[in-house]
Amino acid sequence: MNLKILLPDHVFLEEGVRKVIAEALNGQFCLLPRHIDFVTALVPGLLSYESEDGKEYFVAVDEGVLVKSGREVLVSVRNAMLGPDLKQLRRVVEEEFKILDEHERAARSAVSRIEVNFIRRFLEIREHGD
């Protein structure tokens, strides 16, 4: 099978695989080459695959969609992180979440400043309008 993981701005991974294990809303499932074609929504979690040389890899994925059609397995997610083993992947995910938290805090702070400035300007206009 050919596994292709797509992010919004680029192809994250494209590799020949023997099997893919992922998690949908109703639980975990395994795809093998002769599995029936289908489409499912993915939940945030782990996707694992076995490469053609028999090695197992893990990818942390955000919510998204998986489509199996023939020998193609297309996974479209907002974000993904690859790790050679679960321990290293956990470290990478934790670091990425720290960075995302910092960005979210900065964005919330900027939005708060904009809201405060908007209210101030509104009150100034109201004072001068009377």
More confident residue, 68 or 61: 68
**Mean pLDDT of the 106-116 span:** 78
CA–CA gap between residue 18 and residue 5 (Å, rounded):
15
Q: How many domains does the chain have?
A: 2
Please state whether the predicted TM-score (pTM) of the whole model is above 0.85: no
Mean pLDDT of the chain: 86
Cβ pair 18, 53 in contact under 8 A: no
55 and 103 within one domain: no
| Residue span of the structural domain in which 108 resides | 85-130
Dist. CA 50–CA 36, nearest whole Å = 19
- pLDDT, residue 80, reads 87
Do 55 and 109 belong together in one domain?
no
The pLDDT score that the predictor gives to residue 121 is 81
CA dihedral 113, 114, 118, 121 (to 10 degrees): 60
Top pLDDT among 85 and 45 is at: 45
| pLDDT, average across residues 98-121 | 74
CB atoms within 10 A of CB 35: 14
28 with 66, same domain: the answer is yes
